[in-house]
Amino acid sequence: MSADLAIAGGPCFAGGRIVEAGPARLTLDAAGLDILPGLIDVHGDAFERALSPRPGVTVPLPIALAELEAQLLAAGITTAFLAVTLSWEAGLRSNATYIALRDALRARPRDAVPDLQLHVRFEAHNLAALDQICADIEAGDVRMLSFNDHTPSILRKLPDAGAVAKFVDRTGQSYAAFKDDAERAAAIDPAAIAAGRQRLGAAATAAGIPLASHDDSTLEERAAFRALGATISEFPTTPEVARDAIAAGEPTVMGAPNVVRGGSHTGWHGAEALVQQNLCAVLCSDYHYPSMLQSIYKIARNGSATFGDAQALVTRNAAALARLSDRGTLNIGQRGDAILVAPGEVPRVVATICAGRLAYLAPGAVGRLK
How many other C-beta atoms are found inside a 10 Å radius of the C-beta of residue 54?
9
Taking the complete model, does pTM exceed 0.75, yes or no?
yes
Query: In the chain, what are the domain boundaries?
Result: 1-37+330-370, 38-329
For helices 130-139 and 95-107, angle between their N-to-C axes, nearest 10 degrees: 20
Residue by residue, pLDDT tens for the chain (370 residues) are 568 999 998 999 999 999 998 889 999 999 999 999 999 999 999 999 999 999 889 999 999 999 999 999 999 999 999 999 999 999 999 999 999 999 999 999 999 999 999 999 999 999 999 999 999 999 999 999 999 999 999 999 999 999 999 999 999 999 999 999 999 999 999 999 999 999 999 999 999 999 999 999 999 999 999 999 999 999 999 999 999 999 999 999 999 999 999 977 666 778 999 999 999 999 999 999 999 999 999 999 999 999 999 999 999 999 999 999 999 999 999 999 999 999 999 999 999 999 999 999 999 899 999 8
pLDDT of residue 22: 84
SS3 251: coil
For residue 6, the surrounding DSSP H or E stretch is: strand 5-7
**Quick one: fold of 1-37+330-370?**
Urease, subunit C; domain 1 (2.30.40)
User: H or E stretch including 62?
Assistant: helix 61-74
Whether 249 and 228 have beta carbons less than 8 Å apart is answered as no
CATH of domain 38-329: 3.20.20.140
Which amino acid, 316? R
Q: Which residues pair with 36 in a beta bridge?
A: 339
Q: What is the distance between the alpha carbons of residues 154 and 347, in angstroms, rounded to a whole number?
A: 38
